[in-house]
Structure 1
Amino acid sequence: MSLSRRMTLGLLAALPFAGKAMADIPVDGTLVEHPDFASSHVRPRNVTVWLPPGYEAGSGRHPVLYMHDGQNLFDAAKAPFGEWGVDEHLGRLIANDQVRAPIVVGVWNTPLRLREYVPADLIAALPADVRDDVQAIYGGAPLSDGYLRFLVEELKPFIDQSYRTLTGPSDTMVSGSSMGGLISLYAVMKHPQVFGAAACLSTHWPLRIDGLDDPAALAVWRDKVVGAWTGVVANGLPAPGSHRFYFDRGDETLDQFYATFQSRIDAVFREKGYGPRDFQTLVFPGHRHNEASWNGRLDVPLKFLLTPA
């Protein structure tokens, strides 16, 4: 979001949102900052809430999209690697009646990002040698179950109390990229009563690439991790019909390593009975593992998650 797309709003102080600071107001909706949001389960972190255009003047309730790596979503000045442009994408899609108008909750990461985003059930399912390697690289045991408890038990109740939300699983979605794709999938598997859909962009299935330059070593690692993943997903997926999943990947940089992983996961979904209405997996040739590529194709998962009724 560029500075030229922002404006100020004189009535900000009158809005009934306690305990937060209002950000500059973009033409395409309103940003509300909740700095250092406290939790009993994880470290405090910033939370940025995007309200769709017309929210302040309206009275209707909105679906909610929770997105990880929240500092990268709206403002290039806060995004160390570039922004997704979520507000610009949604402003245009809403104006063209291509999506439902959501509230977006951008949950910032912390220095413990890897441990918070790696699914604990996957780590438990890995062979011991692989598990030890991953935990050494990530700095310790997974913290993802605690992170999800933060989302479900603390953040979501606050959002539902503070904003006009639709609260059921069919109106509560989650999305992220890379490790954020892993935790988005895991969120629906662990809390299907809360989250009804996930969009997972450039999902980092391999868990690591560094140190696997030898094709034979990479193949051995891949087979071990794929075996664990397929079992965890097969056992954790909710029954088809009430939940929806979107996956995509590019074919350059890190994404070039994902094809085998994603094809195996796709097969698990199809074996479980997921069809085109509730499962989509796409490849974007030329796309890389970075914010510019995720920004470039963001319309696609947003339309999948927020298809108008």
Structure 2
Amino acid sequence: MEEKYLKRTINKEVVSSRYLPEGERKLRVFLPPGYNEVLSYPVVYCQDGEDFFNFGRVATISNQLIIDEGIEPFIVVGVDVDKKVRSAEYSPDGELHANYVRFFAEELIPFVESKYPVRRTPDDRLLAGDSLGGTVSVHIALTYPHLFNRVLSLSGAFYPASRNIIASQADLAWLDLYMTIGLQENAFETDRGIYDFVALNRNARKLFEERGAKVVYQERDGKHTWGFWQKDLPASLAYFLDR
């Protein structure tokens, strides 16, 4: 890995919350090369923030896209999660889900926008997540469409509760989705049992497209791991940011 990609600025932040039981949430914020507070930047909000930075190598990949591909500099905000309550926060039938979604839109976004020069239109905000993180990104967008209309879903966990919510939407023409799924995810063991994630994503794609959403959908060889998702991050981020 070339040295120029490894020079990264990553700030640690803590945002306080009335909605989260612990009263706060840790963030990590990647600032692009040449960061300047008088400019304004698109922003990528990642669920499972620690994993996106450590296993997804999102900061290094972002540097590569900006330095080598000429993509306009952007900021990445990783939102940490306690794995013990991850399902409760990310699943739409989880007991902490509604409050997490409110925290994200009503506390996290204003916090980031008060501290960093990020753009404030839905076209300049991207929600990204893997597995249930992809799912909760969709539900945040569905709940707050005036804030979010772009979602990157890496092997989204579109269980029945999620699909029912998607199916209940009348018009999703405003939603822009990038979905990727590994063909070896057809018998993945989750905390809810064994699921065919390929079938889950094919079904979700159909529901999205029937309601007019714009969907880029990728199936390729891969398992339900960061080794697979990391390879997809350059192209999937470029899809949204290289415009």
State the TM bucket, normalised to the shorter chain. 0.7 to 0.9
For residue 158 of structure 1, what is the aligned residue in structure 2?
Answer: 111
| Runs ≥4 residues deviating over 6 A | none
Label 1:5 to 1:117 Cα distance change in 2 as closer, same or farther (>3 A): farther
Label 1:74 to 1:262 Cα distance change in 2 as closer, same or farther (>3 A): closer
What is the SS of the residue equivalent to 1:293?
helix
Give 1:73 deviation, angstroms: 2.2
For residue 81 of structure 2, what is the aligned residue in structure 1?
Answer: 109
Aligned 8 A contact 2:155 2:201 in 1: no
What is the SS of the residue equivalent to 1:105?
strand
For residue 56 of structure 2, what is the aligned residue in structure 1?
Answer: 84
Report the count of equivalent residues. Answer: 233
Is 1:268 aligned to residue 240 of structure 2? no
For residue 192 of structure 2, what is the aligned residue in structure 1?
Answer: none
5+ residue gaps, structure 2: 190-194
Matches within 5 A, 1:142-157: 142-157=95-110
- Alignment identity in percent? 26
Label 1:150 to 1:91 Cα distance change in 2 as closer, same or farther (>3 A): same
Which structure has the greater CA radius of gyration?
A: 1
**What amino acid is aligned across from residue 177 of structure 2 in structure 1?**
F
Give 1:156 deviation, angstroms: 0.8
Matches within 5 A, 1:13-162: 26-27=6-7, 29-35=8-14, 37-42=15-20, 43=22, 44-56=24-36, 59-75=38-54, 83-97=55-69, 99-110=71-82, 111-119=84-92, 123=93, 141-162=94-115
**What amino acid is aligned across from residue 165 of structure 2 in structure 1?**
V
Mapped partners of 2:73, 2:203: distance in 1: 34
Give the strand-richer structure, 1 or 2: 2
For residue 211 of structure 1, what is the aligned residue in structure 2?
Answer: none
Give 1:98 deviation, angstroms: 5.1
The normalised TM-score by structure 1 is 0.69
The normalised TM-score by structure 2 is 0.87
| Partner residue of 1:247 out of 179, 190, 199 | 179
Label 1:185 to 1:60 Cα distance change in 2 as closer, same or farther (>3 A): same
Is 1:280 aligned to residue 216 of structure 2? yes
Label 1:259 to 1:74 Cα distance change in 2 as closer, same or farther (>3 A): closer
What is the SS of the residue equivalent to 1:87?
helix
Aligned Cα RMSD in Å?
A: 2.3
Give 1:273 deviation, angstroms: 2.3
**What amino acid is aligned across from residue 179 of structure 2 in structure 1?**
F
**What amino acid is aligned across from residue 99 of structure 1 in structure 2?**
I
For residue 131 of structure 2, what is the aligned residue in structure 1?
Answer: 178
Q: Which moved more, 1:60-69 or 1:262-271?
A: 262-271
Measured against aligned partners, the alpha-carbon deviations of 1:211-257 in whole angstroms (never above 9, x if no partner) come to xxxxxxxxxxxxxx3xx5443202237531x3311111102252981
Mapped partners of 2:71, 2:180: distance in 1: 19
